[in-house]
Structure 1
Amino acid sequence: MTLFVSLILPLLAIWLWWPVNPLSKRQRRWRMGVSIGLALLGLSFATLWRMDVFSYSVEAWIQLVFGWVLVMFVLLLAFLLLREAGWLLSRLLPRRSGLAALWHGTGFNHGAATVIVLLATLGIYNGLKPPQVHERDLVVPHLPKEMDGLRVAVLADLHISPVKRTWRTQRIVDATLAAKPDMIVLPGDMADGGLEDSGRFAEPLALLKAPYGVWLAPGNHEYYYDYSAWMAHFRQMGLGVLENQSALLTINGRKLVVSGIGDLAALKPTSYMHGGLAPDMQAVVDGGRGGDVHVLLAHQPKQARAAAATGAIDLQISGHTHGGHMLGFDRWVVAPFNHGYVRGEYRVREMALFVSSGVGQWDGFTARLGVPSSIDVLVLRSPAESTEQRRSVLP
Structure 2
Amino acid sequence: MMIVSILLFPLLLAFWLWWPVAALGRKRRWYAGLTFALGLLQPLLGWLWRRQAFGDVANAWVQLLFGWVMVAFALALVFVLLRDLLWLPLRLSRRAGRLRAFLHGARLHHVAVPLVLLLATLGTYNGLKPPKVHEREVVLSSLPVELDGLRVAVLADLHASPVKGAWRTRRIVDDVLATKPDLIVLPGDMVDGQVAGNAANVAALAELHAPHGVWVAPGNHEYYSNYTAWMAHFRQLGLGVLENETVKLAIGGRTLAVSGVGDPAFYRNPGLVQGGGIAPDIPRVVGQARGSDFHLLLAHQPKLAREAAATGAVDLQISGHTHGGHIIGMDRWLVAPFNDGFVRGDYRVGGMTLFVSAGVGQWDGFNARLGVPSSIDVLVLRSVRRR
Coarse TM-score class (shorter-chain normalised): over 0.9
1:313-328 alignment to 2 at 5 Å?
313-328=314-329
Q: Structure 2: how far apart are the matches of 1:379 and 1:250?
A: 18
1:1-395 alignment to 2 at 5 Å?
1-23=2-24, 30-274=30-274, 275-385=276-386
Q: Structure 2: how far apart are the matches of 1:18 and 1:260?
A: 52
The answer to whether the 8 A contact 1:141-1:352 is kept is no
Query: Identical aligned pairs, as a percentage?
Result: 61
How far residue 30 of structure 1 moved from its aligned partner, in angstroms, is 5.0
Q: Structure 2: how far apart are the matches of 1:121 and 1:8?
A: 20
The answer to whether the 8 A contact 1:148-1:380 is kept is yes
Q: Structure 2: how far apart are the matches of 1:92 and 1:155?
A: 54
The answer to whether the 8 A contact 2:296-2:316 is kept is yes
What TM-score does the superposition give when structure 2 sets the normalisation length? 0.97
1:119 partner letter: L
The answer to whether the 8 A contact 2:31-2:110 is kept is no
Q: What secondary structure is seen at the aligned counterpart in 2 of 1:215? A: strand
The answer to whether the 8 A contact 2:31-2:113 is kept is no
How far residue 73 of structure 1 moved from its aligned partner, in angstroms, is 0.4
How far residue 90 of structure 1 moved from its aligned partner, in angstroms, is 2.5
Does 68-77 or 268-277 show the bigger shift? 268-277
Q: Structure 2: how far apart are the matches of 1:352 and 1:163?
A: 35
Q: Structure 2: how far apart are the matches of 1:308 and 1:365?
A: 31
Where in structure 1 do 4 or more consecutive aligned residues deviate above 2 Å? Answer: 1-4, 21-24, 26-34, 89-98
What TM-score does the superposition give when structure 1 sets the normalisation length? 0.95
Q: Deviations over 1:98-126 (max 9, x none)?
A: 21111111111111111100000000000
The answer to whether the 8 A contact 1:325-1:367 is kept is yes
Q: Structure 1: how far apart are the matches of 2:94 and 2:289?
A: 68
Q: Structure 2: how far apart are the matches of 1:18 and 1:4?
A: 20
Aligned residue pairs: how many?
385
The answer to whether the 8 A contact 1:14-1:32 is kept is no
Does 61-70 or 26-35 show the bigger shift? 26-35
The answer to whether the 8 A contact 1:189-1:220 is kept is yes
How far residue 139 of structure 1 moved from its aligned partner, in angstroms, is 1.3
Q: What secondary structure is seen at the aligned counterpart in 1 of 2:324? A: helix
How far residue 27 of structure 1 moved from its aligned partner, in angstroms, is 7.2
2:11 partner letter: P
For structure 1, the residue ranges without an aligned partner over 5 or more in a row are 389-395
